[in-house]
């Protein structure tokens, strides 16, 4: 069986959005979400698919907090 060498941008976008929507726990930290956000932003920009994002909770979106990275990319 030949191994797959690429995955779709949509697959990565869906994966990133699921990770960014999670509640805080021992694995899902602000730093974890910051990394996911940086990764999906780079993928979307590099493939000309960046359409921005929105905060899942506007009331909890202060700069550089866990809530700031609780977002959804379009």
Q: Does residue 63 carry a pLDDT above 80? A: yes
Picking from 59, 62, 57, 26, the residue whose alpha carbon sits closest to that of residue 70 is 57
Single pTM value for the model: 0.90
- Whole-number average pLDDT of the chain: 96
Output the six-digit token pair for 3.
């191994």
CB 55 within 8 A of CB 74: no
Picking from 44, 37, 43, 25, the residue whose alpha carbon sits closest to that of residue 69 is 37
Confidence of residue 57 (pLDDT cuts 50, 70, 90): very high
Q: Tens of pLDDT along 11-51?
A: 999 999 999 999 999 999 999 999 999 999 999 999 999 99
Q: Does residue 69 carry a pLDDT above 90? A: yes
Q: What is the pLDDT of residue 54?
A: 97
């Amino acid at each position: 069986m030949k191994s797959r060498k690429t995955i779709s941008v949509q697959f990565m976008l869906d994966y990133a959005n699921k990770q960014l929507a999670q509640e805080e726990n021992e694995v899902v930290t602000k730093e974890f979400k910051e990394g996911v956000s940086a990764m999906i932003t780079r993928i979307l920009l590099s493939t000309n698919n960046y359409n921005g994002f929105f905060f899942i909770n506007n009331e909890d979106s202060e700069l550089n907090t866990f809530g700031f990275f609780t977002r959804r990319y379009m």
